[in-house]
């Protein structure tokens, strides 16, 4: 935890996936340290009491094994929006062809 946290300050955006269960619980002390460092923090998933960070909520009562699927969907939308805002075509990524031509 020391190395990655040393890189974080108010100028570094952080997206934290806070799922249900033990994984999300284990993330709470890390999030507290990020708040102390005044990180620009976005939470995806469950709400944390006392947190003023913006949050992308997930539907309630989703079985824990399925939450990673729901967590990644808003990030795919964010990546697409960022690509378009930067003038890139998300349907034509650099160095990747959607169709392989064979002879």
Q: Which pLDDT value is given to residue 71?
A: 87
Q: How many CB atoms lie within 10 A of CB 18?
A: 23
Q: Where are the alpha helices (DSSP H) in 13-65?
A: 21-36
Report the pLDDT value the prediction gives residue 80, as an integer from 0 to 100.
92
For 20-75, the pLDDT digits (tens) are 888 888 888 888 888 888 888 888 888 777 777 888 888 888 888 888 888 888 88
CB atoms within 10 A of CB 41: 20
Which residues partner with 16 through β-bridges? 43
Band the pLDDT of 87: cuts 50, 70, 90. Answer: very high
Domain ranges in the chain?
Answer: 2-85
Contacts of 92 (CB under 8 A, 6+ apart): 98
């Amino acid at each position: 935890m020391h190395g990655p946290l040393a890189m974080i300050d108010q100028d570094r955006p952080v997206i934290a996936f806070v799922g249900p269960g033990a994984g999300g619980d284990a993330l709470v002390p890390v999030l507290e340290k990020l708040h102390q460092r005044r990180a620009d923090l976005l939470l995806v998933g469950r709400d944390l009491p006392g947190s003023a960070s913006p949050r992308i909520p997930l539907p309630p009562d989703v079985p824990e094994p399925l939450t990673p699927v729901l967590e990644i969907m808003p990030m795919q939308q964010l990546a697409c929006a960022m690509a378009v805002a930067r003038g890139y075509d998300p349907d034509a990524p650099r160095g990747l062809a959607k169709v392989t031509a064979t002879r």
